[in-house]
Amino acid sequence: MTDTLATITQIKNTRAFILELVKDLSIEQLNKIPTGFNNNIIWNIAHLTAAQQNMCYIRSGLDITVEERYFSPFLSGTKPEKFIEHKDIASIFDALLNSMDRLAADYSSNIFLKFDPWDKRYGMKLNSIEDAINFIPFHEGMHIGYIMALKKLA
């Protein structure tokens, strides 16, 4: 359990780094979809929370802990549907960090009693909540790369 909680802390620290990386960008820059890309910076940030909710809560048969409007529109296979306004950007940023605090509390409370195994397209099989949590840093590392590339073009 301690290793998994340490991983959750690492994820939260990485997410704080992401917010630091984009803190000076305008709302237009966060929403810009450059030529050759399917999404934008704010979609990638919201996607991190949506993916974590999907991997940890949905796969465990539990309800998500964020508002639905910050979940389904940002799952894998989606793309930005509309311009994200300032108030929603603030909520997306809050959810990015707060969802990790909630995950740590829920994991410590042992609410993840079952898990629907999942073969990820990256050649990894997630068989448990611990596997899902350990997969998150890999997934988020990829999206940090996308965010950095998008920032250069914003």
Assign residue 138 the CATH number of its domain: 1.20.120.450
- Residue matched to tokens 């965010």: 147
Does the pTM exceed 0.85?
Answer: yes
Distance between CA atoms of residues 13 and 7, nearest Å: 10
Cβ–Cβ under 8 Å, residues 39 and 33: yes
Structural domain span for residue 144 = 2-153
pLDDT of residue 118: 86
pLDDT of residue 122: 73
Q: Return the SS3 of 2.
A: helix
Distance between CA atoms of residues 33 and 119, nearest Å: 30
Give pLDDT tens digits for 129-149. 999 999 999 999 999 999 999
- Residue 24 gets which letter from DSSP? T
Q: Could you give the number of structural domains in the chain?
A: 1
